[in-house]
Structure 1
Amino acid sequence: MRALLRPMLAALMLCTVALAGGLTAYAADIPADTLRYSWPSNVGELNPHKYSPNQMFAQGMVYEPLVKYAKGGAIEPWLAESWTVSPDGKAYTFTLRKGVTFSDGTPFDSKAVRMNLETVLANRASHDWLELVAQIDRVETPDARTVRLVLKNAYYPTLQELALIRPVRFLSPSAFPASGNTAEGIKAPIGTGPWKLVETRKGEYDVLERNDAYWGKKPAIKRIVVRVIPDPNTRLVALQAGELDLVFGGGGHGGGQISLEAFDALKKGGKYATYLSPPQASRVIALNSKSGPTADIAVRKAILHTINKDAMVKGIFLNAEARADTLFPPTSPYCDLKLPPYAHDVARAEALLDEAGWKRTAPKGPRMKDGKPLTVDLCFVGNDALQKAIAEFLQSELARVGMQANLIGEEEDAIGERQKSGAFGMVFGDTWGAPYDPHSFVSGMRVPTHADYQAQLGLPMKADIDARIGKVLLTTDETARQNLYRDILTTLHDQAVYLPLTYQTSMVVHTARVDGVHFGAMDTEIPFEDMRLK
């Protein structure tokens, strides 16, 4: 499997004089108090209540939640210093922290909280993946420091979902549009967080500076320049040429900052600090149960039995990620179900296809059934080197059992549209990690604009799955909740709707110039505020 990546590694490690010279011209005269990072795109307008093209890591730098998700799953006070929950679980009353202001000096008070929550609720359709938004009945503000969320039903993940990077974070009232509806845009990205977005150049860079009026511990670093570098090869060149201080990301976050081969080479070189996070989420392929050959459960099960995940882990992931056999890691709440894995068994895969009528008609090429070939569109983000390598590996594996995988590599937005429309046979659809998994992820399974909904649409028990998801999110009984999750996840496992690949990790590479680097509690955040420059 390493042979698949040899040409890629050679390209990644080639630092040409011409390219490095061009990057150096940009990096001249960077002040000593500035950290240099990169991202595949600009961070966006940083509307706290909207999604793409707003980048989550930057939204998390500028905007803050009422409560914060901490490592180990604890919920900590943040903009709210305390809270109480009514006995029936339908009312959450928060006491806001004293003395907090937005970076423009506007007070952070209950009026500002209500203004933000009401614009989120006015655009519920945009947030239909997040059950909390559907469950909020009204927002009450008895005084300037008190906010009460009144829910329609008791909803157990309320605090976890209030901690998410979007959409329940807070924009200064002065930055709202005249209409009060942030779905129409914002005047400026003004939050209470430790950072401010101060400059953007489309296709070039973004600059975030320390918020010196921040209520909490102020960052040691004054400024962060985020270079726009879409290509992992170019990012590696920039790092090696001394024009970046930090590479942070991977897994589902960071768009494949650099390849694992490149990471392994940098680690062995000893020049940079390199480390990997614990498992954070699942790397998954969703299989379309409604259309094409994958509508046949025998085909889906054959796919799961065909893929040699151990070879993939060794050859592509260089053992940096562990093989996944279930949709969620067993460490996720309610997910340690001991479900029997689909073992790598090519003979079993071929038998399943034979029994289902998919017959070999030639030594090479796809099997046939009723005059139709066993071909499946495998869709991935074309400029993601890791997804491309995985897709090529899967294509090679499936050919062994007479299945032809047509590789479709497109821009990220185009793949997103395929996920929404169901125009795929197989598509990358990773889980979201803590604190989203499992509740937010399974909630999204009921939303037609999600790949999971489209993948499950052909299942005869789809309506029942959705009904059980609705119940599990609202039940207050812990035993009932565990049993419902067991039913939901066992059904999806038995129906072979997902091909779990690995449990994702994130990577860090940094120069000796940077200290205090660590992973956040969520895969979607980068703790720049704890970093220091030597």
Structure 2
Amino acid sequence: MLKPATRAVAALVACFLGPAAAGQLTYSWPSNVGPLNPHLYAPNQMFAQASVYEPLVKVRGDGTVEPWLAESWSLSEDGRTYDFALRPGVTFSDGAPFDAAAVKANFDAILANRPRHAWLDLARQIEGTEILGPLAFRLVLKAPHDPTLLELALPRPFRFLSPRAMGADGTTAAGIKAPVGTGPWRLVDTQPGVSDTFARNPLYWGTKPAFEQLVVKVIPDPNTRVVALQTGQIDLVYGAAGQIPSEAFIRLRDMAPAFAAAVSPPLATRVLAMNSARFPTDERAVRRAINHAVDKDTLVRTVLDGLEPRADFLFAPSVPYADLGLRPYGFDRAAAARLLDAAGWLPGRDGVRMKDGRRLAVEVDFVGTNAQQRAIAEVLQADLARVGIEVRLIGEEESSILARQKDGRFGLIFGETWGPPYDPASFVSSMRAPSHADYQAQAGLPEKPSLDATIAAALAATDGTERRRLYAELLTTLHEAAIYLPISHAVAIEVHRPSITGVGFGPTINEIPFVAMRPAAR
């Protein structure tokens, strides 16, 4: 039963959104999906790019790689050359053939804009490409690169646009003519600020969607999205837990069978990076004390409504190479106090610790409009005050926080690992990019050069035992340096109306398995 105020909002929402239609799956997103250039980033939305464009290989739920647009592949003994046998009979939605020439044209377009993709090590490692036959394609690397197949499976940039839809010069950096892929959906209409409509691709080579259309309605506000779901304006909420307020998710989950709801296994880690190059978090004792001082169990229960499990390390133990048996810091205010006492930080008259005439004060930087980040920051402020650490909360617009991440103007700053298949290889690779908060957070560590060298060696290692040793060395060093304050393991949530079935979680948070969804039997 909707409350009177909620009914009023629902009526207003209905006026703008309109009802969901038969043969149509209706979803929502905070913004339009963008021009859907497969080789670029924002404002292109990843779930939509992944619905239109496909990779050579895909990642399964267990983290292994399966054939997709490539039926098979082989790797040379030196680990540098991949030969792909492409799937026959595949066409783009405009009728153009998917063949080795199309694959090479896409790789050429991506590499023509190589600096834009420098965050991804594979983009730097590609030496050349060759057409070996109509359906035979060769990728040559400068050196062995262990995560090659995983990085080819990412939602961007290594996905394939019809050559007919590329820019006039055969590149994509300056834009594309139209979003034409080989995937199960094709974008057919965009209404700015209102919706994007996808139609089933009649030329799709694989299992075709059960729905004729996928309509993505633009709903920026999470509470409005809840009302839209309750009143039948949308069929489905799916994505990171912030898609709707956690208390609303729990309420809808408890309304079964009116709604069905589920939480995914852990997909990424919500962390705060601590700046090792800036006072006072340039002291390891301070960073370790902060890790001990935060009552994460209470934070998870009260702020996150128990939807996200507590995190003790940068990566969940389920992430490849991350189950190292390290000892978590654990919530222990007495241990935090002992660390600070031993480091010379003594309580002042107002309770804030002092050393050499300087206050033990840190700043926590967060997106001011993100209610969840603000709530977590306020809990940190209270917990750290109990051990004599003063916290200044800095809430700014997203662009300002991104600028701080890039230039290191932060004390503690929010972030997340990227989840599968990015973790751990692609994520640790990005630690070497100065534009990333992880690089800036680690910049003050004496061992930073050796950390970067270890990352490079792990990515190039061809022996599994050696690769595991290198990851263990890297992750152990970061844990002992206490550069990160892990909070929780981010999850995906889904809530859907009983009019649809087949809703489940994909192997990554950025790819939504719309194809598996179908109308419920009547």
Coarse TM-score class (shorter-chain normalised): over 0.9
The answer on 1:462 being equivalent to 2:448 is yes
The 1-side partners of 2:100 and 2:357 are apart by 65
8 Å CA contact retained: 1:374, 1:403: yes
Question: Corresponding residue for 1:447?
Answer: 433
Question: Corresponding residue for 1:208?
Answer: 198
The answer on 1:427 being equivalent to 2:417 is no
Question: Corresponding residue for 1:73?
Answer: 63
Deviation per CA, 1:16-59, whole angstroms, max 9, x where unpaired? Answer: 34422221012335421122211122211111111112111111
Question: Corresponding residue for 2:386?
Answer: 400
Shift of 1:336: 0.7
> Does the residue aligned with 2:73 lie in a helix, a strand or coil?
strand
8 Å CA contact retained: 1:286, 1:426: yes
8 Å CA contact retained: 1:14, 1:237: no
Question: Corresponding residue for 2:224?
Answer: 234
The answer on 1:318 being equivalent to 2:305 is yes
Change (3 A) 1:34 1:414: farther
Question: Corresponding residue for 1:16?
Answer: 6
Which blocks of at least 5 consecutive residues in structure 1 are unaligned?
Answer: 1-11
The answer on 1:386 being equivalent to 2:342 is no
Which stretch has the larger CA shift, 29-38 or 156-165?
29-38
8 Å CA contact retained: 2:240, 2:509: no
8 Å CA contact retained: 1:49, 1:182: yes
The 2-side partners of 1:445 and 1:107 are apart by 39
The 1-side partners of 2:205 and 2:87 are apart by 10
Letter of the 1:396 counterpart: A
TM-score where L is the length of structure 1: 0.93
Which stretch has the larger CA shift, 409-418 or 449-458?
409-418
8 Å CA contact retained: 2:13, 2:224: no
The 2-side partners of 1:38 and 1:15 are apart by 22
The 2-side partners of 1:353 and 1:320 are apart by 33
The answer on 1:257 being equivalent to 2:243 is yes
8 Å CA contact retained: 1:15, 1:237: no
Shift of 1:415: 2.5
Which stretch has the larger CA shift, 43-52 or 396-405?
396-405
Change (3 A) 1:292 1:180: farther
8 Å CA contact retained: 2:20, 2:234: no
Question: Corresponding residue for 2:291?
Answer: 304
Letter of the 1:37 counterpart: Y
Question: Corresponding residue for 2:336?
Answer: 349
Question: Corresponding residue for 1:8?
Answer: none
1:134-213 counterparts in 2 under 5 A?
Answer: 134-213=124-203
Deviation per CA, 1:326-360, whole angstroms, max 9, x where unpaired? Answer: 11111111111011110211122123223333333
Question: Corresponding residue for 2:51?
Answer: 61
Shift of 1:195: 0.8
Change (3 A) 1:278 1:362: same
8 Å CA contact retained: 1:231, 1:383: no
Change (3 A) 1:110 1:13: farther
8 Å CA contact retained: 1:197, 1:207: yes
Identity of paired residues, percent? 55
Shift of 1:275: 0.8
TM-score where L is the length of structure 2: 0.95
8 Å CA contact retained: 2:428, 2:455: yes
The answer on 1:486 being equivalent to 2:477 is no
Deviation per CA, 1:106-130, whole angstroms, max 9, x where unpaired? Answer: 1111111111111211222211221
Shift of 1:441: 0.7
Shift of 1:362: 2.7
Change (3 A) 1:362 1:269: farther
> Does the residue aligned with 2:494 lie in a helix, a strand or coil?
strand
Deviation per CA, 1:196-237, whole angstroms, max 9, x where unpaired? Answer: 112222222222221111111110111122122222122112
Shift of 1:421: 1.7
The 2-side partners of 1:13 and 1:388 are apart by 28
Which blocks of at least 5 consecutive residues in structure 2 are unaligned?
Answer: none
Letter of the 2:273 counterpart: A
The 1-side partners of 2:11 and 2:448 are apart by 56
Shift of 1:412: 3.4
The 1-side partners of 2:52 and 2:154 are apart by 13
The answer on 1:327 being equivalent to 2:314 is yes
> Does the residue aligned with 1:198 lie in a helix, a strand or coil?
strand
The 1-side partners of 2:175 and 2:354 are apart by 52
> Does the residue aligned with 2:129 lie in a helix, a strand or coil?
strand
The answer on 1:277 being equivalent to 2:267 is no
Question: Corresponding residue for 1:7?
Answer: none
> Does the residue aligned with 2:306 lie in a helix, a strand or coil?
coil
1:336 pairs, out of 320, 323, 342, with 323
The 2-side partners of 1:372 and 1:59 are apart by 50
The answer on 1:110 being equivalent to 2:96 is no
Question: Corresponding residue for 2:507?
Answer: 521
> Does the residue aligned with 2:71 lie in a helix, a strand or coil?
strand
8 Å CA contact retained: 1:13, 1:237: no
> Does the residue aligned with 1:71 lie in a helix, a strand or coil?
coil
Question: Corresponding residue for 1:96?
Answer: 86
The 2-side partners of 1:65 and 1:14 are apart by 48
The 1-side partners of 2:401 and 2:44 are apart by 17
The 2-side partners of 1:527 and 1:407 are apart by 39
The 2-side partners of 1:398 and 1:15 are apart by 39
> Does the residue aligned with 1:464 lie in a helix, a strand or coil?
helix
Letter of the 2:187 counterpart: L
The 2-side partners of 1:383 and 1:38 are apart by 20
Shift of 1:67: 0.6
Q: How many matched pairs? A: 518
Deviation per CA, 1:424-446, whole angstroms, max 9, x where unpaired? Answer: 11112211111111111110100
> Does the residue aligned with 2:347 lie in a helix, a strand or coil?
coil
Deviation above 4 Å: which 4+ runs of structure 1?
Answer: 12-15
